[in-house]
Structure 1
Amino acid sequence: MSDNKNSISRSGGQSIAAKFAQKDWVKKLEAASGKPIVPAKPFFGGIVYLVIDCSGSMDGDKLHQAKRGASGFAVESQRKGYSLGLIQFSSYAEHISEPQKEIARINAALEKMQTDGSTNMAVALSLATDKFADRSGEKIICLVTDGMPDDRNAALAAANRAKQAGIDIMTIGTDDADREFLEQLATRKELAAKVVRERLEQGIVSMARLLP
């Protein structure tokens, strides 16, 4: 049975490659470059964690926008081959969804988020980093916040620990956040963004388009 499956798989792969090689534009490019052109392999190995600020200052419209934006982020990240996990944080951090591509389950987890407490960003980043342990492929944290953390130095230390573990960090904040601090948290300045609070939903969705 195993041999049959392997035979089918090899046959199917050869058929796809053969069809690709017969395309006129492929033949022309190969003739011009003198090198064979191999079709790109699909990307299926990425994991991204949305780490969402649910402190008391996010109450009301900001939380609603964060939920809608996270739902849109899930759709966009799925299109790019990523599984999405969710972590919410206030005075403490809570892991609310394992990485997955089931949009309905992600939305159900998002609906349970409520605001309360302070902004313990360091513990949230540490939790996300720990959740990536023993996972392969692209590993990305996208942090959503509306302000400064309880402990700036602890948050920066947690972000550096994540980066040293091979995890990229993207950040987005509302107009209450400190852009310079968001850039320090992010892997690169261009992976940090700041938007007016009324456009938080659109901003979060746009961050998914920066996924590699």
Structure 2
Amino acid sequence: MSAIDDLTRELRRLPGIGAKTALRLAFHMIKGPREDMRRLAGALTDVAERIHPCPRCGNYCSADVCSVCRDPSRDRSVICVVEEAYEVGAIERTGQYGGLFHVLGGRLSPLDGVGPGQLDIEGLLDRVSNQEEKPKEVILATNASVEGEATAVYLETLLRPHDLRITRLARGIPVGSDLEYVDGTTIAEALAGRRRVGGGRA
């Protein structure tokens, strides 16, 4: 197998990249300046060697603890639970949230073989059980999809005994959409209008 085949095969492993797109990307790289390819290879190597999940929240970082968790100005009484690490950035860009995060690493999807054991649910339960840093509120910011809603309902069941305010983002976010693709204003409004799970306003 040639180097081009190897590159194409690896590109096909990326989300949304099919065989034809992978081949076009491969030849685009080959036709471009060699220095561009070296920079890309260097960036990938750097990420592979330096980036890891934050041991507290699951967000990706290069330090021992991510910048959010080590920021003393963050409101530690609130934890916002998201499915994926890139959704932390979507919420941060609104400038309307100053609490902490917890990244699940996905959402419940039995058809895809993703159950509770594949998500960092135990880490979340450990955080809400910690009497020294116990939050007062947990915001369930899973996506407005069937799987996201199922994940939120499951988490609510587990969190209910911990004497917390459990809230869900308001319905300003369209059903079926991912936070990554929602504009900052809509996310900010959803945060402001979040509702208490089980009825009532936050």
TM-score where L is the length of structure 2: 0.39
Higher helix share: 1
Q: Which has the larger radius of gyration?
A: 1
